[in-house]
C-alpha cells in the first residue's frame, strides 16, 4: 500500500469571504463552516475563534485536536466510518494543511480535558502552540449526558476538519512524502536480510468516555488486528477520548503518529517495517489476557524480530503495556516501550502501576504529575473555571489573576506516549 | 554567613581506629580532621561552627539514643547546613552519616549532604532521602570528595536548584524530573530498537523498579461475625465533595460516617473521580461503594456488621507513594476499630 502525502504549509489563518488556501494563508468562511458542522440539536451554539502561535491566548477545556486533510486520489475519504464510507483508505494521494488544526473546546464533558496555551511556559509543552488553530467552542443543551455531549462535539470537530481540508484539494503541495508498505511476503522478498519489525499500537479503550475508533468501530470491541501504517494517515483511527489531556492521543496525533513516521525513516535500511498491530486497553482481566495473548500471537505469526509498543493513558493500561511486553518478549521478540510517568509531584514515587523485568528498553515522555505554573493570558477561548477540577488540577489551581498552577497532566499532548515531543524524565 | 555543623567518626576525629569505635558522641567547636579541607572548600560564605565526633560502633549499636543525643548537640548551634563524612566505603560510617543526615533533615528542616562510595550500604539506605556526593572508595579520594560535598552543600543552603547527578556529582536519588531531550520520543524509541536489534548498548530512560506486590491475606472464615469496612479508590464522596478530593492525582483521602445510611442516593453521594464517565456512579453510588448490598447482608446475617466509616480516594493518576501513605494511615485505624476485612473497590 502506497500513499503520497502532499503537505501544504499553512503559515497563517484568517476568516475570509471564501474558504481557501492562498499563498500559505488559510481563509475560512465562518458561515459556511458553521453550516457544515451544525445541525445537531444537542448543541445550542457553536462559536468559532482563531488562536495563533505566540499569541497570549489560552484555549480550555480542550477536547480534541484534528488536522485538516483531504483525499485527492485513491479509494475512500478522510475519517472512514464517520465522515466517509468504510472503504479501505491509505493509498493514493492525500493533501494535508500542515500547520493548521481544528480544536474542539467548550463546556466541560468530563474531568479530563486539557489546556492549550499559545505562548508562555505552557506553550513549550503542547505541540498545538505551534499550529494555527481554528477553535470551535460548543455549548450543549442543559442536562445533556456526558457521552452524548462527547459524541456531538467529536462530530463537530471531524466535520470541521473535513470541510477545511477540502480547501487543500486543488492546491499544489509544498512538499510530497511517499510512504509504502508492501504485503508481508513481498516485503520479505525485497529485504531478505533485514530484521522484521512492527509497531504495536495500543488504543485507549477503557470505556466510559475513554474510547478510540477504528473505521467507525469502537476499539473495545475488536480483537488485535493488523493495519497498514498509511491507513492511519487517512484517519482510520480517531479519538473519542476524555482521558487525561497530557497523554491521550488527539486525532491529530493519530494522523501524524510519529512512531510510524520514524519507523518509515529507516525502513529498508536498518530493518523491514512490516506493519502495525493495533490492540486495545480494556478493563477486565479476561479482556487484557485475550488481547495481550493475541498481540503476541500476531507478532509471532508475522515472524517479527522486534517491536515498538506504545501505551495510551496510564494506571490501568500500564498492566496491558506490561502484559504485551512480557508475552511478546517470551516469544523471543525484542521490545521497546513508549510510556509516560506518574511519579508524584515530588517525582519520588514509583512511576508506573505495573512493572516487568522484560521491560528493559523504555522511552518515557515525562512525569505528568510534575507541577507547572501557567501565566495568565490576555485572551481565553472557552472557560477558565474547570482548572481546579480537570485531571491535574487541584483546589486553588486557578488563581484570582487568571494564572494556573497545576500538574503537567492538564496540558493537551504534553506527555504523548507515541513520542510526539522531546519531553522526557530522568533520575535526579 | 552560612553556619555549618560537620559530623565525622572516631577515626577522622583523631581518637583512634576500630578499638575506639565505641566512643560516645562529643562536640568540639570549630573544625577537626577533614573539616580543615572542608572549611577551605566552603570559602568565605560559610563557617564550620562545630564538629561532632562519634564512634561508628556506638552509633550503629545505639541508633536511637545516639541520634537523639547528636540532634541535641547540633540544635544548639542553629546551623543552616549539616555535612556528614565523607565516609567513602566504610559501611558503618556511611550508615551513621546517612542516619544522622536524615534525622537532621526531618527534625531540624535544614539541608544536609554526605559523601560516599556508590557501594557503601549507606547509599542504598539513604540516597532517596539526601544528596550523597559520589566519592572514591578510600580516603585517597578526599581531595575530590570535599569540593563536591561543599559545592552541593552551599547550593542547598542558598536554596539554589540542584542539577542532574552527572552535573553535580551526587548519587542518583530515584527522583524523577522532567527534561527536554535532543530528539522526540518516537525517534529515541526507533534508535533504541535498532541498538537492541544490533546488540549494541542502549540506556533505558526508565529502569523498572522492584515492584511492590502485596500478597493477599488469608480468607475470613467466620463472615457471620466479621466487621467489614468499605474502602474505595473510585472517588465516592458525600455530595459536593466536602474535602475537595482531586479528580486526578489525589493528595488526600476522605473518611465518612455511614451510620444509619442504608442506601447511597443521587441526592446524597457522588464521585469525585475524573477517570471515568460519572453518570452511572452519580445516579447510584452503591455501584462503586456497595453500601446497600452490605446493609442487606447485615440484616440477613451474612456479615456481622458494616463498619461505621468508609474511606475513599481517587485512584486516577494518584502516585503509588501517596496511595501507600493513605493506606498505611487508615489501615491502622481499621485495625484499631476491630475491622476484620475490607472490601476494596476500584474503577
Judge whether B257 lies within some domain: yes
DSSP collapsed to 3 states, B129-173: CCEEEEECCCHHHHHHHHHHHHHHHHHHHCCCCCCCHHHHCECCC
Would you state the cell numbers that stand for residue B302, as one nine-digit string? Answer: 451474612
Smallest CA-to-CA distance from A417 within A158, A181, A204, A124 is with: A204
The reported pLDDT for the residue numbered B347 is 82
- List A275's β-bridge partners, or say none: A198
Give yes or no: residues B25 and B126 share one domain: yes
The reported pLDDT for the residue numbered A84 is 98
Would you state the cell numbers that stand for residue A167, as one nine-digit string? Answer: 480547501
Report how far residue A284's alpha carbon sits from residue A222's, in angstroms, rounded to the nearest whole number: 14
Report how far residue B43's alpha carbon sits from residue B2's, in angstroms, rounded to the nearest whole number: 10
- Say if CB B93 and CB B101 are below 8 A apart: no
> What three-state secondary structure class fits B187?
helix
Give yes or no: residues B144 and B264 share one domain: no
* Average pLDDT of the residues in B232-241: 96
- Residue B186 DSSP one-character state: H
Instruction: Return all residues near B127 (Cβ < 8 A) that are at least 6 apart.
Output: B171, B172, B173, B174
Phi, psi of A338 (to 5 degrees): -120, 125
Phi, psi of B51 (to 5 degrees): -125, 135
- Say if CB B185 and CB A338 are below 8 A apart: yes
> What three-state secondary structure class fits A262?
helix
Smallest CA-to-CA distance from A220 within A288, A170, A299 is with: A288
State the nearest Cα–Cα gap between A421 and chain B, in angstroms. Answer: 5
- Residue matched to cell numbers 495473548: A293
- List A341's β-bridge partners, or say none: A367
- Domain boundary (B135, B151, B168) is at B168
- List B41's β-bridge partners, or say none: none
The reported pLDDT for the residue numbered A193 is 97
Give yes or no: residues B7 and B132 share one domain: yes
Would you state the cell numbers that stand for residue B54, as one nine-digit string? Answer: 562519634
| Residue A388 φ/ψ region, left for φ over 0, alpha for ψ in the -120 to 50 degree band, beta for the rest | alpha
The reported pLDDT for the residue numbered A347 is 93
Task: Establish whether A246 is a catalytic residue.
Answer: no
Residue range A380-423, pLDDT digits in tens? 999 999 999 898 999 999 999 999 999 999 999 999 999 999 99
Judge whether B241 lies within some domain: yes
Q: Are B190 and A265 in contact (CB < 8 Å)?
A: yes
Report how far residue A283's alpha carbon sits from residue A277's, in angstroms, rounded to the nearest whole number: 19
Give yes or no: residues B156 and B253 share one domain: no
Give yes or no: residues B58 and B162 share one domain: yes
pLDDT-derived band at B319 (thresholds 50, 70, 90) equals confident
Give yes or no: residues B229 and B143 share one domain: no
State the nearest Cα–Cα gap between A35 and chain B, in angstroms. Answer: 30
| Chain B residue with Cα closest to A209 | B277
* Average pLDDT of the residues in A10-22: 98
Residue range A349-376, pLDDT digits in tens? 889 999 999 999 999 999 999 999 999 9
DSSP E strands in A29-131: the ranges are 43-51, 57-66, 69-73, 92-98, 100-105, 114-117
User: C-alpha angle with apex B109: B106 to B114, nearest 5 degrees?
Assistant: 75
Judge whether B209 lies within some domain: no
pLDDT-derived band at B339 (thresholds 50, 70, 90) equals very high
Q: Between B182, B249, B321, which is nearest A348 by CB?
A: B321
The reported pLDDT for the residue numbered B275 is 80
Q: Are B178 and A367 in contact (CB < 8 Å)?
A: yes
Residue range B59-83, pLDDT digits in tens? 999 999 999 999 999 999 999 999 9
Q: Are A271 and B194 in contact (CB < 8 Å)?
A: yes
pLDDT-derived band at A348 (thresholds 50, 70, 90) equals confident
The reported pLDDT for the residue numbered A109 is 79
Smallest CA-to-CA distance from A333 within B203, B196, B191 is with: B196
Q: Strand A114-117 vs strand A57-66: parallel, antiparallel, or unpaired?
A: antiparallel
- Say if CB A333 and CB A234 are below 8 A apart: no
Report how far residue B86's alpha carbon sits from residue A409's, in angstroms, rounded to the nearest whole number: 40
Residue range B209-224, pLDDT digits in tens? 877 778 888 999 999 9
Sign of CA dihedral B68, B70, B76, B77: negative
What is the pLDDT of chain B when averaged over all its residues? 95
The reported pLDDT for the residue numbered A387 is 93
Give yes or no: residues B25 and B135 share one domain: yes
The reported pLDDT for the residue numbered A57 is 98
| Chain A residue with Cα closest to B185 | A419
Judge whether B200 lies within some domain: no
Residue range A159-190, pLDDT digits in tens? 999 999 999 999 999 999 999 999 999 999 99
Would you state the cell numbers that stand for residue A258, as one nine-digit string? Answer: 510519529
- Say if CB A208 and CB B276 are below 8 A apart: yes
| Count of other CB atoms within 10 angstroms of residue B182 | 7
Which of B130, B189, B316 is most worth mutating to test chain A (most A CB atoms within 10 A of its CB)? B189
Report how far residue A166's alpha carbon sits from residue A68's, in angstroms, rounded to the nearest whole number: 8
Q: Are B185 and A419 in contact (CB < 8 Å)?
A: yes
| Chain B residue with Cα closest to A388 | B246
Burial class (CB in 10 A: 0-12, 13-18, 19+), B298: middle
Q: Between B164, B180, B211, which is nearest A355 by CB?
A: B211
Give yes or no: residues B110 and B6 share one domain: yes
pLDDT-derived band at B10 (thresholds 50, 70, 90) equals very high
Domain that holds residue B299: 223-345
Q: Are A367 and B208 in contact (CB < 8 Å)?
A: no
Judge whether B249 lies within some domain: yes
Instruction: Return all residues near B108 (Cβ < 8 A) that are at least 6 apart.
Output: B71, B74, B75, B79, B82
Report how far residue B232's alpha carbon sits from residue B219's, in angstroms, rounded to the nearest whole number: 20
Report how far residue A370's alpha carbon sits from residue B47's, in angstroms, rounded to the nearest whole number: 35
Instruction: Return all residues near B6 (Cβ < 8 A) that are at least 6 apart.
Output: B31, B32, B35, B38, B48, B50, B51, B52, B82, B83, B84
User: C-alpha angle with apex A209: A207 to A210, nearest 5 degrees?
Assistant: 55
Q: How many domains does chain B have?
A: 2
Amino acid at each position: 500500500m502506497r500513499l503520497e502525502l502532499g503537505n501544504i504549509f499553512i503559515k497563517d489563518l484568517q476568516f475570509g469571504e471564501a474558504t481557501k488556501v492562498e499563498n500559505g494563508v488559510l481563509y475560512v468562511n465562518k458561515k459556511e463552516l458553521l453550516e457544515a458542522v451544525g445541525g445537531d440539536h444537542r448543541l445550542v451554539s457553536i462559536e468559532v475563534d482563531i488562536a495563533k502561535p505566540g499569541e497570549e491566548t489560552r484555549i480550555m477545556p480542550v477536547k480534541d485536536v484534528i488536522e485538516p486533510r483531504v483525499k485527492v486520489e485513491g479509494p475512500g475519504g478522510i475519517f472512514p466510518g464517520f465522515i466517509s464510507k468504510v472503504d479501505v483508505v491509505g493509498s493514493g494521494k492525500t493533501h494535508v494543511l500542515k500547520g493548521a488544526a481544528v480544536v474542539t473546546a467548550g463546556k466541560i464533558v468530563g474531568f479530563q480535558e486539557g489546556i492549550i496555551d499559545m505562548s508562555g511556559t505552557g506553550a513549550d509543552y503542547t505541540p498545538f502552540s505551534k499550529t494555527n488553530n481554528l477553535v470551535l467552542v460548543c455549548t450543549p443543551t442543559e442536562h445533556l449526558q456526558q457521552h452524548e455531549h462527547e459524541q456531538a462535539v467529536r462530530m463537530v470537530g471531524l466535520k470541521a476538519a473535513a470541510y477545511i481540508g477540502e480547501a487543500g484539494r486543488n492546491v499544489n503541495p509544498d512538499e510530497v512524502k511517499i510512504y509504502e508498505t508492501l504485503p508481508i511476503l513481498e516485503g520479505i522478498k525485497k529485504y531478505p536480510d533485514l530484521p522484521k519489525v512492527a509497531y504495536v499500537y495500543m488504543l485507549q479503550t477503557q470505556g466510559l468516555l475513554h474510547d478510540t475508533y477504528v473505521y467507525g468501530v469502537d476499539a473495545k470491541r475488536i480483537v488485535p488486528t493488523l493495519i497498514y501504517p498509511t491507513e492511519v494517515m487517512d484517519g482510520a483511527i480517531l479519538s473519542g477520548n476524555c482521558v487525561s489531556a497530557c497523554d491521550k492521543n488527539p486525532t491529530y496525533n493519530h494522523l501524524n503518529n510519529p512512531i510510524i513516521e520514524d519507523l518509515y525513516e529507516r525502513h529498508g535500511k536498518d530493518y523491514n517495517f512490516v506493519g502495525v498491530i493495533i490492540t486495545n486497553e480494556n478493563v477486565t482481566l479476561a479482556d487484557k489476557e485475550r488481547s495481550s495473548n493475541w498481540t503476541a500471537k500476531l507478532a509471532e505469526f508475522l515472524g517479527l524480530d522486534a517491536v515498538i509498543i506504545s501505551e495510551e493513558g496510564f494506571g490501568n493500561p500500564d498492566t496491558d503495556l506490561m502484559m504485551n511486553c512480557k508475552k511478546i518478549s517470551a516469544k523471543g521478540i525484542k521490545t521497546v516501550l513508549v510510556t509516560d510517568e506518574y511519579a508524584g509531584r515530588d517525582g519520588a514515587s514509583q512511576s508506573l502501576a505495573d512493572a516487568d523485568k522484560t521491560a528493559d528498553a523504555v522511552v518515557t515522555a515525562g512525569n505528568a504529575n510534575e507541577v507547572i505554573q501557567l501565566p495568565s493570558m490576555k485572551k481565553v477561548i472557552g472557560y477558565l473555571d474547570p482548572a481546579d477540577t480537570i485531571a491535574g488540577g487541584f483546589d486553588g489551581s486557578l488563581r484570582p489573576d487568571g494564572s494556573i498552577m497545576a500538574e503537567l497532566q492538564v496540558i493537551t499532548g504534553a506527555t504523548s506516549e507515541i513520542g510526539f515531543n522531546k519531553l522526557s524524565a530522568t533520575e535526579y | 554567613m552560612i553556619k555549618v555543623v560537620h559530623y565525622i567518626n572516631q577515626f577522622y576525629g583523631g581518637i583512634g581506629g576500630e578499638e575506639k569505635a565505641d566512643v560516645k558522641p562529643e562536640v568540639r567547636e570549630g573544625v577537626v580532621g577533614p573539616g580543615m579541607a572542608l572549611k577551605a572548600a566552603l570559602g568565605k560564605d560559610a563557617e564550620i561552627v562545630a564538629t561532632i565526633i562519634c564512634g561508628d560502633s556506638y552509633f550503629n549499636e545505639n541508633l536511637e539514643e545516639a541520634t537523639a543525643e547528636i540532634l541535641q548537640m547540633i540544635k544548639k548551634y542553629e546551623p543552616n547546613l549539616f555535612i556528614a563524612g565523607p565516609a567513602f566505603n566504610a559501611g558503618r560510617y556511611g550508615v551513621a552519616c546517612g542516619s544522622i543526615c536524615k534525622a537532621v533533615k526531618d527534625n531540624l528542616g535544614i539541608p544536609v549532604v554526605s559523601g560516599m562510595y556508590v557501594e557503601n550500604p549507606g547509599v542504598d539506605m539513604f540516597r532517596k532521602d539526601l544528596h550523597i556526593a559520589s566519592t572514591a572508595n578510600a580516603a585517597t579520594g578526599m581531595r575530590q570528595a570535599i569540593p563536591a560535598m561543599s559545592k552541593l552543600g552551599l547550593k542547598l543552603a542558598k536554596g539554589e536548584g540542584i542539577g542532574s547527578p552527572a552535573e553535580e556529582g551526587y548519587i542518583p536519588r530515584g527522583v524523577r524530573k522532567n527534561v527536554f531531550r535532543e530528539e522526540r520520543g518516537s525517534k529515541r524509541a526507533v534508535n533504541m530498537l535498532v541498538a537492541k536489534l544490533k546488540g549494541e548498548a542502549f540506556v533505558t530512560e526508565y529502569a523498572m523498579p522492584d515492584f511492590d506486590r502485596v500478597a493477599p491475606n488469608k480468607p475470613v472464615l467466620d463472615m457471620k461475625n466479621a466487621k467489614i469496612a468499605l474502602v474505595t479508590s473510585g472517588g465516592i464522596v458525600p455530595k459536593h465533595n466536602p474535602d475537595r478530593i482531586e479528580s486526578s492525582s489525589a493528595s488526600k483521602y476522605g473518611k465518612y460516617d455511614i451510620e444509619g445510611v442504608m442506601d447511597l442516593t443521587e441526592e446524597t453521594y457522588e464521585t469525585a473521580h475524573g477517570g471515568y464517565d460519572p453518570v452511572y456512579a452519580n445516579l447510584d453510588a452503591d455501584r462503586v461503594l456497595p453500601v446497600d448490598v452490605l446493609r442487606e447482608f447485615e440484616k440477613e446475617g451474612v456479615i456481622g456488621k458494616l463498619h461505621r466509616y468508609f474511606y475513599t480516594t481517587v485512584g486516577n493518576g494518584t502516585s503509588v507513594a501517596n496511595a501507600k501513605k493513605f493506606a498505611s494511615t487508615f489501615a491502622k485505624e481499621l485495625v484499631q476499630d476491630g475491622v476484620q476485612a475490607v472490601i476494596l473497590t476500584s474503577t
